[in-house]
Amino acid sequence: MAGTEEKKKEDDVDTGTADEEEGNSKDEECAATEHRDKFNPTAYLNSFYKTASEDTAMQIVLFFLPGILYRLPQKVRTVLDLGAGPTVYLPIALRERAENIYTSDYAPANRDALVSWIENRSTFDWDNVCSWISNIEASMKTGKQMQEKTRSLMRAVLDVNVHESPVVQSVVWKSNQTTENIPGKFEVVSTVFCLEYSCETLDGYFRAVRSACSLIEDGGFLIQGGVLDATTYNFGGKTFRCHRLKQAHILESLKANGMATTAEKGYKFITHDDIFFDRTLKNGQKTGNSRIRRYFFPNLALYAERNENIIVSTPDKANAVAAYIFGSCEKLPEESEILDIIFPDNANPETILTGIDVCLALGGDFLSHFKRLEERLKLLKHSLRGLRRFTIE
């Protein structure tokens, strides 16, 4: 999506034609509603998912995803991927937590693609996306194992329309294990590049969010991903118009539907290069699940307890962040010193994910450390697994 969407700048609202300069002006222009009949699943997958490293938006999505999903409960009874298109990366990324996965789309061709993947008839190769996900998870699984496990959890493919009531229009495929009815509400609803792409107006976006929220159980989660400030996206010779989304629209629509919009109540928003992800809770309760609280501060306290003498008597030899926080040194720590404490050399994957949280909380230049983190997570695939807590030497 990044690299293909046309972004309107304030001063070129009608003619912001970076894409035209790149030759996209020959694209057939389609309304959002035309996703139903004009979406070509093969062209879409080849444009954005063939190698995750080809599309920046996908890189960001796949990089952020494990961190966002990590905040969900260890076991999630039911998940719905709303407007999945022909993609299965969300179910794959959720396979270790989810017990029953439902997927859905508006376009018949996409639902067919989902069914053919579930039935192992898909011609698209998901291995690259799987290895990207497994690297970030620091798991040792092969793409084949990841997909097999995910397939075994798939319960149904649904025909959905976020502008209709009911949203679930019909069940187009059901697994043999699905003897019960399809749930009316799910513990987790994930929806990526869908709600703002399903419409072209703010009203439409609000309606789409309302529909998505109506499918979530009380106390359940919405995971939303998308692009801010884009008016179109294109692939396979077609340009689809979409709603130009602002962060304020996201917050307003969530609030209107009883979803948490503050960190206190369990809201998390991540953005990078206008791609965003958020995780929010219906009827917002506290999650009590903050890794920063669980890992970063206890370990800072541990460091202080073990190194009290150094911090007090020779603060210049102590960890600069600890010395500053505990008041023995007035010099603000340098960025590199902050990074040393966020990502100590012996950090395990969980600690690195905590570090990602800290970087996101700090924002600004700290956001640029993701690449390095990814490399560290890759390396950790072979070492330090199972270490629950980190220590600061």
Binding residues (CB under 6 A) for ligand SAM: these are 32, 35, 39, 83-85, 87, 105-107, 110, 160-163, 192-194, 197-198
Q: Tell me how far, at minimum, the Cβ of 156 lies from ligand SAM, in Å.
A: 16
d(CA 330, CA 120): 61
Nearer to ligand SAM, 192 or 310 (CB): 192
Q: What are phi and psi of 61, to 5 degrees?
A: -60, -50
Nearer to ligand SAM, 161 or 287 (CB): 161
Beta partners for residue 103, in sequence order: 81, 157
Q: Tell me how far, at minimum, the Cβ of 60 lies from ligand SAM, in Å.
A: 12
| CA dihedral angle for residue 263, residue 391, residue 301, residue 361, rounded to 10 degrees | -20
Nearer to ligand SAM, 30 or 302 (CB): 30
Whose tokens are 């629509």? That residue is 253
Q: Tell me how far, at minimum, the Cβ of 80 lies from ligand SAM, in Å.
A: 11
Q: Of 236, 317, 226, 323, whose CA–CA distance to 276 is shortest? A: 226
Nearer to ligand SAM, 160 or 222 (CB): 160
SS3 102: strand
Q: Tell me how far, at minimum, the Cβ of 69 lies from ligand SAM, in Å.
A: 14
Where is 272: in which H helix or E strand?
strand 268-272
Residue 258 CB partners (closer than 8 Å, separation 6+)? 213, 282, 283, 284
Residue 79 region by backbone torsions, left for phi larger than 0, else alpha for psi between -120 and 50, else beta: beta
SS3 content of the chain, % helix, strand, coil (to 5): 45, 20, 35
**Residue 284, token pair as written in the block:** 């917002």
Is beta strand 268-272 parallel, antiparallel or unpaired with respect to 275-281?
antiparallel
Nearer to ligand SAM, 80 or 392 (CB): 80
Cis bond before residue 166 (omega within 30° of 0): yes
Nearer to ligand SAM, 185 or 265 (CB): 185
Q: Tell me how far, at minimum, the Cβ of 101 lies from ligand SAM, in Å.
A: 14
Nearer to ligand SAM, 65 or 358 (CB): 65
Is beta strand 186-192 parallel, antiparallel or unpaired with respect to 76-81?
parallel
Q: Tell me how far, at minimum, the Cβ of 109 lies from ligand SAM, in Å.
A: 9
- DSSP at 333: P
Residue nearest to ligand SAM (CB): 85
Q: Tell me how far, at minimum, the Cβ of 301 lies from ligand SAM, in Å.
A: 40
Nearer to ligand SAM, 33 or 178 (CB): 33
Q: Of 265, 230, 269, 264, whose CA–CA distance to 250 is shortest? A: 269
Q: Tell me how far, at minimum, the Cβ of 375 lies from ligand SAM, in Å.
A: 25
